[in-house]
Amino acid sequence: MHRFANPNVFLRLSNRIMPWSTGVMIASLVAGLVFALGASPADYQQGESVRIMYVHVPAAWMALFIYICLAGASAVALIWKHPLADLAAKASSPVGACFTFIALATGALWGKPMWGAWWVWDARLTSMLILFFLYLGHMALANAFEDSERGAKSAAILALVGVINIPIIKFSVDWWNTLHQPASVVRMGGPSIHPSMLTPLLLMAIAFTAYYVTVVILRLRGEILARKIRALRMIRVQAESKGESGPYLREI
């Protein structure tokens, strides 16, 4: 396992993955948009407004999926102290926050014409808003402390505590009366979406997943570099305090 602790191993791996994830993202995004905006039928009840589903539902899936990844990375960081796990968690939470925001905002744009309200405080919508705050809290904690290790530890604990929200979001529509309709795809008895509408939904889900992989690799590289920069600066400060370096070191 600690073979992957070496950031250079990860970087070489990520160099292999990046072209693929970018390619899959662009291909499935183009195909998905063609189906979502034109080549799929309007709904028998909701008309053309059903096309909002093709960004709303995959974004909501990503919000949950990224949180599970975040919690997994946080557990690995807390238990096994894997040096990349903290950085992976720190790189993931802004992406998750963006997808949660997209799910909330497009849901409001869908709810206004269909339900007759931008927002209601039912169990599904409220638990999704809590997920958004969990992401924001994680981002704030991970950057809050001077000592980045303490920040990473408290952020990891927050991420693990917040896991309780995931089953609540998933099953809120089954456990309680909500305005939000029950699940259509991941449910007992198979999807209740016509295949012509399931196609754009799944294509967009693939595109969003590939987007997450691509962006998290970019951000993780950035976090690794930031850590290297900090290590180098520490070395330089130590060298300077020993009086071993001259004034020609430029301030960066």
Partner 1 sequence: MPNMFHMGEYAAFVWPAYGLTAIVLIGLFIISLRSLRQRQWVFAELKESMEETKTARQQPPAANDEPGNEWPDDDGPNSNGPGNSPKASS
Partner 2 sequence: MSENENDTLQTPSPKKSRPMTRKRRRLYIVLIAMGFLFAAGALVLSALRDNLVFFYSPTEILEREIQPGQRIRIGGLVEEASVVQASGEVSVMFRVTDLTQTIPVVFTGVLPDLFREGQGVIAEGSLNEDGVFQATNVLAKHDENYMPPEVAEALKKSGRWQEGAEMNGENGENAAP
Q: Decide: residue 72, CB within 10 A, 0-12 exposed, 13-18 middle, 19+ buried.
A: middle
Contact pick of 22, 43, 108, 145 for partner 2 (by CB under 8 A): 43
* Interaction residues for partner 1, span 67-86 (CB under 8 A): 83
Q: Distance (Å, rounded) from C-alpha 115 to C-alpha 125?
A: 13
57: number of CA atoms within 13 Å, CB side?
Answer: 24
How far is residue 12's CA from residue 17's CA, in Å, rounded to a whole number? 9
For residue 46, state whether it binds partner 2 (rule: CB under 8 A): yes
Length of the chain as a residue count: 252
Using CB atoms within 10 Å of the CB of residue 243, give its burial: 0 to 12 exposed, 13 to 18 middle, 19+ buried.
exposed
Binding mask 87-126 for partner 2 (x = CB under 8 A): --------------------------xxxxx--xxxx---
Residue 39 binding: pick among partner 1, partner 2, none (C-beta 5-8 Å cut-off by kind): partner 1
Partner whose binding site includes residue 143, from partner 2, partner 1, none (CB under 5 to 8 Å by kind): none
User: 3-class DSSP state for residue 213?
Assistant: helix
Please tell me the distance from the alpha carbon of residue 227 to that of residue 216, in angstroms, as a whole number: 16
Are the C-beta atoms of 95 and 110 separated by less than 8 Å? no
The residue from 50, 52, 73, 134 that contacts partner 2 (CB under 8 A) is 50
Partner that binds at residue 154, options partner 1, partner 2, none, CB closer than 5 to 8 Å by kind = none
Return all residues near 201 (Cβ < 8 A) that are at least 6 apart. Answer: 53, 54, 57, 58, 185, 193
- CA angle, residues 15, 21, 26, in degrees to nearest 5: 135
The C-alpha atoms of residue 33 and residue 138 are separated, in whole angstroms, by 32
Q: Rule CB under 8 A: say whether 38 interacts with partner 2.
A: no
Letters for 211-240 (x = contact with partner 1 by CB under 8 A, - = none) are x--xx--xx-xx-xxxxxx-xxxxxx-xx-
Q: Which amino acid is at 107?
A: G
**Binding track over 12-51 against partner 1, x by CB under 8 A:** x-xx---------------------xxx--x----xxx-x
Residues forming the site for partner 2 (CB under 8 A): 2, 5, 41-47, 50, 53, 75, 78-81, 83, 113-117, 120-123, 149, 160-161, 163-164, 168, 173-179, 181-184, 187, 192-194, 196-197
Residues forming the site for partner 1 (CB under 8 A): 7-8, 11-12, 14-15, 37-39, 42, 47-49, 51-52, 55-56, 59, 83, 94-95, 98, 101-102, 105-106, 109-110, 112-113, 211, 214-215, 218-219, 221-222, 224-229, 231-236, 238-239, 244-246, 248-250, 252
